[in-house]
Structure 1
């Protein structure tokens, strides 16, 4: 007990001496933290923010922090959703102009960001803007606050915004590495720990805490995050009554890494100012190295990060170009094979060059197998199989030929190596040594990697069945572009000859109905058929309901390759399925509605027509439509 008391006293004294030294010599950065009472009037809210920026600029602040909902607080769900805006629009541009004018960075702690690609609900987006008005980081809130206490309060964030899908590393700013969060994220310590482990020196929590939860937990949580992560905590806040239904707690504050509140607003619209001293952060972490004492051998935090491949990674002594990488996480990357044993044979390895699986950290090991699971799921769906081999040849005696631990994933089919599936391992061992098997070109590998990248992106998208509705957005556009796993082609629509059929095809494409469907039937020297979301040839529906009538124009004939017609099960049974001819097919004239022709990409159609098929004319390997969309031009 005496020893413990002595150690605590010694550390406290050292910290006090450190603080004194830091005060004299440390690098300091001056910041402004804002507290607002935003309402539904965006112009009034902006004027308040503008005056605060001017005040911060006059005091030579390097960065200003605004709270969640600094732009507006809607009076109801409809207003909250309806007022959302594009970040490239006029409202945020005014903040960019202020940042340039006053030469400071901004933390815009919670914009109502309407994504044109997904306009149903806005993101709650924390945006960092630099002193040139450029966006340096965006973090979309991942934890949504749903609170309903009958007779007291109802605040269901999931009804008027959607949850973010990714973590954002700390951003470099003039005041230090800044970890981004929003409001309710404060209650989830894993996010702050991850930010600290990713290099954060400052944690930000722009918020609109309710009155009851703020009274109970606001300061306690902020000080806790500061102490346990040895970071400054900056928390801009909303305060007061926004409307008849909503009231916020206020008390915007800054907490130092020792847990002291060094600046705070009360309960009115106001600002507080603080100095961030990064030398103090370093000294404190040196005196109390708690992160060095974490038992990573017993517990850790795994984060599902996905990065865009932009740089070369090493596979032992071999350079893997970013164009050949189709998935990248924090610790690992997946890339296509130079000499694949089977279609879909890929490799996953850690970014750090480690020779054995046992050389990996627990974080690297967890990440390797999580990535493997994601990639396996994508490949099985892409190749329409239900089995895979995942193997690690860990050491020379296990057949490893590259001195870098890696995993092979191969989609498997019946008898792909004869009656014994385990013959694969002999094939793996001998494959690279066979000089008759030529390595693929960089272009071939990059093309395959792009297909897998696109497949990974659309893997979790859910396609909705279309319902009859008003037609807008696809009206009379002359072309539909179709991007497949074998390339792009463009369909010219015959609006004057088959207007109802063209509208059906164009509208289905606009809605994304064809995305991720397959060409389920291919007959060499005849036609290719697709458009069925079930992939069986028995599914699909039209925008008019179930089926609609033929539009046979006697002037249109199946005179050659590239004619686009509706597939049917007899007269007047058109749905979503279509076929494209590979040769003249006069026997189909008068039986199928011709509604277009291939305007560009005929070589892609011909290549699809050459793929291997089984006895039922089904391709042995999936040819998938990645995306279809109406277009003004035929150029692809």
Structure 2
């Protein structure tokens, strides 16, 4: 099954970001992808953390969700919508949510980011908990491919990547593919991004598809990029360093089964 990680350099204008996302989704569909995954904050990287609150939508209704549903339906794609802000418990909080739409435009899965990023090296300061509330539970969905195969897919977002127990839980539930839409900072991405992605793939004997924000944004933030597809043996199959683009590759069900049979590490776990 062909898949695509869509890398963006999102700005501060919602409509412009959606137009760019649509261009990349069309590129993925033209390349034969069945699943396309957008990066974290694909719809907006605002000038301030609170900007995302202004576009937060109730779950099930809103222009960003309508855009994702319509694009999935018109392009015949499974789309994992990176993240978008969904309404939280109060007007001053939102959920950083990944929604998955099937080719009919139906929302079939929702994952709210569980681990909220905080970083302070004296020069850069980030604290997502100022405007976001954490999610409550992991989320998997089953994707029926055109060839009749089914894939179990586990959802995560960016900073979740540092918490291997989330992915181990997905593996225990039969996950074949792990999605990691992200907006890693240049500093942390340069140090750890590829290492963490390959580790999650190897230890769970699963494919990892990680679309990212990659470049210098209007708000002055610089993200690491390097969107990639990693196979269950830890091999990077496709990658793009910076700039907007479509990182496409193929999942091989026979290779996945063969590797799991040759090295049945998932069966050897002892708690």
The TM-score by the shorter chain falls in which range? over 0.9
Tell me the equivalent position of 1:257.
232
Check the 8 A contact 2:46/2:219 in 1, yes or no: no
Larger Rg over CA atoms: 1
Gaps of 5+ in 1: 1-28, 300-636
User: Hey, what's the Cα distance between the residues in 2 that align with 1:62 and 1:68?
Assistant: 20
Tell me the equivalent position of 1:159.
130
State the SS of the aligned residue for 2:251: strand
Tell me the equivalent position of 1:406.
none
Q: Per-residue displacement from partner, 1:413-450 (whole Å, max 9, x unpaired)?
A: xxxxxxxxxxxxxxxxxxxxxxxxxxxxxxxxxxxxxx
The structural deviation recorded for 1:144 is: 0.4
Mark the CA change 1:292 to 1:91 in structure 2 (over 3 Å): closer, same or farther.
Answer: closer
Tell me the equivalent position of 1:218.
193
Check the 8 A contact 1:81/1:161 in 2, yes or no: no
The structural deviation recorded for 1:244 is: 4.1
User: Hey, what's the Cα distance between the residues in 2 that align with 1:51 and 1:134?
Assistant: 21
Q: Per-residue displacement from partner, 1:531-564 (whole Å, max 9, x unpaired)?
A: xxxxxxxxxxxxxxxxxxxxxxxxxxxxxxxxxx
User: Hey, what's the Cα distance between the residues in 1 that align with 2:58 and 2:217?
Assistant: 23
The structural deviation recorded for 1:154 is: 0.7
Tell me the equivalent position of 2:65.
92
Structure 1 consecutive aligned stretches of length 4 or more whose deviation exceeds 3 Å: none
Gaps of 5+ in 2: 146-150
* Partner residue of 2:75 out of 102, 125, 144: 102
Tell me the equivalent position of 1:506.
none
User: Hey, what's the Cα distance between the residues in 2 that align with 1:43 and 1:194?
Assistant: 37
TM-score after normalising by structure 1: 0.41
Q: Per-residue displacement from partner, 1:471-511 (whole Å, max 9, x unpaired)?
A: xxxxxxxxxxxxxxxxxxxxxxxxxxxxxxxxxxxxxxxxx
Tell me the equivalent position of 1:43.
15
Q: Tell whether 2:159 aligns with 1:173.
A: no
1:60-79 alignment, distance < 5 Å: 60-79=32-51
User: Hey, what's the Cα distance between the residues in 2 that align with 1:174 and 1:252?
Assistant: 24
1:333-344 alignment, distance < 5 Å: none
Q: Tell whether 2:110 aligns with 1:138.
A: yes
The structural deviation recorded for 1:278 is: 1.6
RMSD, aligned α-carbons:
1.3
Tell me the equivalent position of 1:294.
269
1:533-572 alignment, distance < 5 Å: none
Q: Per-residue displacement from partner, 1:307-330 (whole Å, max 9, x unpaired)?
A: xxxxxxxxxxxxxxxxxxxxxxxx
User: Hey, what's the Cα distance between the residues in 1 that align with 2:38 and 2:135?
Assistant: 20
The structural deviation recorded for 1:85 is: 2.3
The structural deviation recorded for 1:61 is: 1.4
User: Hey, what's the Cα distance between the residues in 2 that align with 1:51 and 1:84?
Assistant: 23
Q: Tell whether 2:171 aligns with 1:196.
A: yes
Tell me the equivalent position of 1:238.
213
User: Hey, what's the Cα distance between the residues in 2 that align with 1:46 and 1:288?
Assistant: 43
Tell me the equivalent position of 1:309.
none
Check the 8 A contact 1:110/1:125 in 2, yes or no: yes
Tell me the equivalent position of 2:148.
none
Tell me the equivalent position of 1:80.
52
State the SS of the aligned residue for 1:240: strand
Check the 8 A contact 1:178/1:202 in 2, yes or no: yes
Say how many residue pairs are matched.
265
User: Hey, what's the Cα distance between the residues in 2 that align with 1:244 and 1:60?
Assistant: 34
Q: Tell whether 2:84 aligns with 1:111.
A: yes
